[in-house]
């Protein structure tokens, strides 16, 4: 928890699914080179894990606050840069999961001024999900932007809505209907449903404890910038 999100955590081996220790460059089973996970991927995985751990009352190596504070190390965010930014996808999911874990997965609105850089990134890049035909990512963009205050009156939400309505499968799902991985069947469908939903918000969040974490984080990043 005293170290920013690392870039030397390998993906499982693509050939035999063997998991390898941090820092490994080749698979311990087959010797083939390993691909590294992005810092964003490692970080938001930890964010979700600690969020669930804290909620359930089981400490999983660190607390949610220990992980959230490293958000500053992930800024500034880069757009897809015409496909050149290999971290774009994980950047999007990092930011949407900041929103989800702060608003208890769709229960509270969040003031956009608490997350100004994240709000700007989401607005600037939503159309990229439409251009890529990625219903899953588009769902996360729209869901998060609604939590931060956009509504059907905003052109971005309307553009996303039009895309989703035009690309829903005959069975009501979204994504590739021939996909065999069940996660890739349900998650885009969940995304489409969430993006088109109007939530009955319980009010404005985040909780006082999370607000303190966020204010400390924004203060630290302001100090670093000036």
Give contact residues for Zn ion (rule: CB under 5 A): 13, 15-16, 18, 27, 29-30
Question: Closer to Zn ion at the Cβ: 30 or 131?
Answer: 30
Report CA-CA distances (Å) from 190 to 95, 174, 204: 18, 8, 23
In this structure, the number of other CB atoms found within 10 A of the CB of residue 124 comes to: 12
Cα–Cα distance, 225 to 20 (Å, whole number): 37
Residue number, 30 or 215, with CB nearest to Zn ion: 30
> Of the two residues 12 and 62, which places its CB atom closer to Zn ion in the complex?
12
What's the distance, Cα to Cα, between the start and end of the chain in Å?
A: 25
Comparing CB distances to Zn ion, the nearer of 37 and 97 is 37
CB of 6 to Zn ion, least distance (A): 21
* Spatial separation of the C-alpha atoms in residues 108 and 41, rounded to whole Å: 25
Least separation, in Å, of the C-beta of 30 and Zn ion?
3
Tell me how far, at minimum, the Cβ of 208 lies from Zn ion, in Å. 47
For the bound state, the minimum distance from the C-beta of residue 67 to Zn ion, rounded and expressed in Å, comes to 29
Q: How far is the CB of 18 from Zn ion (least distance, A)?
A: 5
DSSP state of 26: B
Residue 10 φ then ψ, to 5°: -80, 150
Q: Which pair of tokens denotes residue 202?
A: 């319980």
Question: Which is nearer to Zn ion, 27 or 213 (by Cβ)?
Answer: 27
The SS3 call for residue 109 is strand
The nearest distance, CB 43 to Zn ion, in angstroms, is 25
Task: State the Cα–Cα distance between residues 158 and 107, nearest whole angstrom.
Answer: 22
Whether residue 76 contacts residue 94, with contact meaning beta carbons closer than 8 Å, is answered with no
112 closest CA partner among 155, 55, 151, 139: 151
Q: Which is nearer to Zn ion, 32 or 75 (CB)?
A: 32
Cα separation, 120 vs 108, whole angstroms: 20
């Amino acid at each position: 928890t005293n170290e920013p999100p690392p870039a030397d955590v390998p993906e499982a081996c693509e050939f035999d699914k063997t998991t390898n220790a941090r820092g490994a460059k080749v698979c311990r089973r087959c010797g083939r080179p390993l691909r590294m996970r992005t810092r964003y991927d490692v970080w938001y995985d930890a964010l979700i894990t600690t969020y669930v751990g804290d909620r359930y009352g089981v400490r999983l190596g660190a607390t949610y606050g220990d992980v959230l504070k490293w958000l500053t190390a992930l800024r500034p965010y880069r757009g897809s840069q015409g496909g050149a930014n290999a971290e774009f996808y994980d950047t999007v999911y990092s930011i949407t999961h900041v929103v989800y874990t702060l608003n208890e997965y769709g229960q509270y609105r969040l003031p956009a001024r608490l997350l100004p850089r994240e709000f700007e990134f989401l607005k600037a890049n939503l159309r990229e999900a439409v251009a890529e035909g990625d219903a899953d990512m588009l769902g996360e963009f729209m869901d998060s932007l609604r939590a931060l205050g956009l509504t059907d009156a905003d052109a971005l939400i309307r553009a996303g809505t039009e895309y989703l309505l035009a690309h829903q499968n005959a069975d009501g799902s979204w994504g590739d209907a021939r996909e065999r991985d069940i996660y890739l069947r349900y998650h885009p469908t969940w995304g489409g449903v969430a993006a088109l939903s109007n939530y009955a918000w319980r009010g404005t969040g985040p909780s006082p404890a999370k607000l303190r974490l966020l204010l400390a984080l924004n203060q630290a990043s302001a100090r670093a910038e000036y």
